[in-house]
Amino acid sequence: MTELDVLRVFCGPDGAGGNALGVVRDGAALPGAAERTALAAELGFSETVFLDDAARGTVDIHTPSGRLPFAGHPLVGLAWLLRSLGRPPRTLRPAAGEVEVRFEGGLTWVCGRPEWVTARTTRQHASAAEVDALPAPPPGEGWLYAWAWQDEAAGVVRARAFPRRGDSVVEDEATGAAAMLLTHERGRPLDIRQGAGSQILTRTYPDGTIAVGGRVRLDTP
């Protein structure tokens, strides 16, 4: 039996919400891509992350239907877990490239590039209530990030995410990569309130990189 940690990533200030994440700390226990995707499908989380080299921070991210070069919530979650074990990483290395990790109080941040985000569409709605009223999933094909300003002056966004890729994930509770893409498009830091109670914070930097950050909690005994 593969040893697994389950976390909730991008929790709200009250500890609610957060996107479930499976973490396999011993990636060598499941070396094959097909085996990894099969485990991700069995778990049914939006992503499961495999730590292949703890010293270098090399990781492999899988959805229930395939592999991702980059995703925010697995990297934030893994960084938090390693810190809780007394091994805080400075860098993680998914397939897309080198990701800087930062810790600030109760927040864990990872910094990446918007061009690493796999194809998805952001769609602005007139109000947060309009976003809340969307069916899960909305009609159509392809990855959709539906959003509206909740407080534009303060940079607060209401969002919901729909992968629409044919696997078990109908709605994604909290998505760091989509938050990064939206931040790039708006050109400003955001405070994103997503799903049923999650919060994703973002920052922009002059070199074009974007950081996504949030709170994490352990979801296993």
Digit-coded pLDDT (tens) for 4-14: 999 999 999 99
Mean pLDDT of 175-190: 98
Tell me: pLDDT of 220 over 80: no
**Residues 193-215: pLDDT tens digits?**
999 999 999 999 999 999 999 99
pLDDT band for 2, please (50, 70, 90 cuts). confident
56: three-class secondary structure by DSSP = coil
pLDDT band for 29, please (50, 70, 90 cuts). very high
pLDDT band for 20, please (50, 70, 90 cuts). very high
* Phi, psi of 41, deg, nearest 5: -70, -40
Task: Report which secondary-structure segment, H or E, holds 210.
Answer: strand 210-218
Cis geometry, peptide bond prior to residue 137 (ω within 30 degrees of 0) = yes
pLDDT band for 1, please (50, 70, 90 cuts). low
User: What per-residue confidence (pLDDT) applies to 221?
Assistant: 54
CA angle (69, 62, 145) in 5-degree steps = 70
117 neighbors 181 (Cβ within 8 angstroms): yes
Q: Which two tokens stand for residue 219?
A: 């979801």
Mean pLDDT of 27-39: 94
**Residues 101-110: pLDDT tens digits?**
999 999 999 9
- What rounded mean pLDDT belongs to the chain? 96
**178: DSSP letter:** H
Tell which residue, 95, 92, 93, has the closest CA to residue 66: 95
Mean pLDDT of 168-175: 96
Distance CA 12, CA 158 (A): 13
**Residues 106-154: pLDDT tens digits?**
999 999 999 999 999 999 999 999 999 999 999 999 999 999 999 999 9
Contacts of 206 (CB under 8 A, 6+ apart): none
Distance CA 145, CA 182 (A): 9
Burial class of residue 214 (count of CB atoms within 10 Å of its CB; 0-12, 13-18, 19+): buried
Task: Report which secondary-structure segment, H or E, holds 181.
Answer: helix 176-186
